[in-house]
């Protein structure tokens, strides 16, 4: 009997360490039911996650007939077309497509973009309260920064960014079958638009990753027109959505734990270390894509049968006490930090470098401009989108307050209070008693 745990509930997103510990108590690999996917095995430990992600022969993205593990029979053909990208491919097709985009990324020199990313972040921070206070940090900052950066990286026109924001909002609204079908209109518009941009680049050339992809294609890169559109769709969606929620989740943690923010503001050279811990603790991407089990196999002592499906719970790997000391604590100075937020194996996240730079620039620009930024509401009022697999704050109302933000933590939990030498807060201490 599949274990029924609601992976889209407010309690799950509000307190991941507690929910994950409850799930892990049932074993390293648990049979459950996941929204839109159905019955599936879920890993709850770091080692089980690593085994699945690294063994691409046993745990494959597709069946022998090419069917993608996460697709359902009732999903429109458009979804299958969009899903036909390197994230859903096994070898040798994965390497064929990955090498094309790797080459294009190498030509763009991501690290060299850091000053430009910081300039975009500075501009957005300046405008945060342009429409009044409080401002929604998700819509006014965390969403626009990654979309602006990936649009610029791809070489898409500045004038088209409002429509990207609308599409990103539509993608964030995915919670169930009904909203899934509602998304199809936005997906179709987005796919058609990107197809037009690729055709323009083939005819006119241009600057940006799309032009580089077209050049690699022209130089003999093996990629079909549909695969090219899906590739750009993936880069635009994956390159913005997950980083949005890394930024907003990180800001949320800093605003409800002022001592952590103080430690960071004392020396911004610490921000890289802090971002690694936010990646682990916030875990914006909670799960990998589903995989098929190609043969009967034992995974962490659990027998899986050929044809079963398994999903890696990245958030659980990041909270595994066998790997992380006191994983429920947010410790900005944590080192080493063997988080799995970017996955591992052949599908290791292509945009890991870009996400790290964007998060660091976003935090420093925001708090340099608004050093006394505060939450406009009690943390208990913050809610997460009911989107399976993504930990996404729906709205984060903030004020440019002259007063220090109120620390809503339970004073009875003072044993967890961080000091300025080693900044950390426990999952329990950082929550309001009302939560």
Distance CA 20, CA 319 (A): 8
Sign of the dihedral defined by the CA atoms of residues 44, 296, 349, 170, in that order: negative
Give the Cα separation of 269 and 217 in Å (integer).
40
**Residue 358: partners with Cβ closer than 8 Å, 6 or more residues away:** 117, 121, 145, 146, 149, 243, 247
Give dist(CA 32, CA 355) in Å, integer. Answer: 31
pLDDT confidence of residue 70 = 61
From first to last of the 435 residues of the chain, give the pLDDT tens digit.
Answer: 445 678 999 999 999 999 999 999 999 999 999 988 889 999 999 999 999 999 999 999 988 776 666 655 455 565 666 666 777 778 888 888 888 788 777 777 788 899 999 999 999 999 999 999 999 999 999 999 999 998 888 888 888 888 877 777 776 665 555 566 667 777 788 888 888 998 999 999 888 888 888 888 888 777 887 888 888 888 877 778 899 999 999 999 999 999 999 999 999 999 999 999 999 999 999 999 999 999 999 999 999 999 999 999 999 999 999 999 999 999 999 999 999 999 999 998 888 999 999 999 999 999 999 999 999 999 999 999 988 899 999 999 999 974 444 443 333 333 233 333 456 665 433 333 232
- CA nearest 382: which of 46, 14, 4, 1? 14
Report the alpha-carbon distance of residue 68 to residue 90 in Å, rounded.
10
| Residue 285, beta-bridge partner list | 390
User: Structural domains in the chain?
Assistant: 74-281+326-426 (1.10.630.10)
Kindly tell me the burial class for residue 434, based on how many C-beta atoms sit within 10 Å of its own C-beta (0-12, 13-18, 19 or more): exposed
Return the pLDDT at 301. Answer: 95
Q: What is the pTM of this model?
A: 0.86
- Burial code of 162-177, b = ≥16 C-beta within 10 A, e = fewer? eebbebbebbbbbeee
The per-residue pLDDT for 173 is 62
Task: Give the H/E segment covering residue 29.
Answer: strand 29-34
Q: In 288-423, where does DSSP find H-type helix? A: 314-317, 352-369
Residue 144: per-residue pLDDT: 92
Check: CB of residue 356 under 8 Å from CB of residue 275.
Answer: yes
Contacts of 101 by beta carbon, 8 Å cutoff, 6+ apart: 86, 213, 231, 235, 350
Contact 108, 213 (CB under 8 A): no
């Amino acid at each position: 009997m599949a274990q029924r745990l609601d992976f889209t509930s407010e309690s799950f997103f509000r307190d991941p360490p507690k929910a994950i510990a409850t799930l892990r108590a049932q074993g390293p690999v648990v049979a459950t039911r996941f929204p839109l996917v159905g019955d599936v095995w879920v890993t709850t430990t770091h080692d089980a996650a690593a085994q699945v992600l690294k063994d691409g022969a046993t745990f494959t993205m597709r069946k022998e007939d090419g069917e993608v593990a996460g697709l359902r029979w009732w999903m429109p053909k458009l979804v299958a077309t969009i899903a036909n990208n390197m994230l859903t491919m096994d070898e040798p097709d994965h390497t064929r497509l990955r090498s094309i985009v790797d080459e294009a990324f190498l030509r763009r020199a991501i690290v060299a973009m850091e000053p430009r990313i910081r300039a975009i972040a500075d501009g957005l921070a300046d405008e945060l309260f342009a429409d009044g206070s409080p401002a929604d940090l998700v819509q006014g900052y965390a969403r626009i920064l990654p979309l602006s950066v990936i649009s610029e990286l791809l070489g898409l026109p500045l004038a088209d960014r409002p429509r990207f924001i609308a599409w990103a909002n539509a993608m964030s609204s995915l919670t169930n079958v009904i909203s899934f079908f509602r998304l199809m209109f936005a997906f179709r518009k987005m796919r058609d638009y990107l197809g037009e941009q690729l055709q323009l680049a083939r005819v006119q050339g241009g600057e940006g990753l799309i032009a580089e992809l077209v050049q690699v294609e022209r130089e003999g890169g093996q990629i079909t027109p549909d695969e090219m559109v899906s590739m750009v769709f993936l880069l635009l969606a994956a390159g913005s959505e997950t980083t949005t929620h890394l930024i907003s989740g990180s800001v949320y943690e800093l605003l409800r734990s002022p001592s952590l923010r103080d430690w960071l503001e004392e020396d911004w050279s610490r921000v890289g270390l802090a971002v690694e811990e936010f990646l682990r603790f916030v875990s914006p991407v909670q799960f990998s894509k589903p995989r098929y089990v190609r043969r009967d196999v034992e995974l962490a002592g659990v027998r899986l049968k050929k044809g079963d499906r398994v999903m890696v719970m990245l958030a659980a790997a990041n909270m595994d006490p066998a790997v992380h000391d006191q994983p429920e604590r947010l410790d900005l100075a944590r080192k080493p930090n063997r988080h799995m937020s970017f996955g591992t194996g052949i599908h290791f996240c292509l945009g890991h470098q870009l996400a790290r730079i964007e998060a660091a620039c976003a935090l420093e620009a925001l708090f340099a401009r608004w050093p006394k930024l505060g939450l406009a509401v009690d943390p208990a009022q913050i809610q997460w989108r009911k989107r399976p697999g993504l930990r996404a704050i729906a709205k984060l109302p903030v004020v440019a307050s002259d007063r220090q933000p109120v620390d809503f933590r339970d004073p009875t939990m003072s044993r967890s209070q961080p000091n300025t030498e080693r900044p950390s807060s426990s999952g329990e201490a950082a929550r309001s008693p009302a939560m």
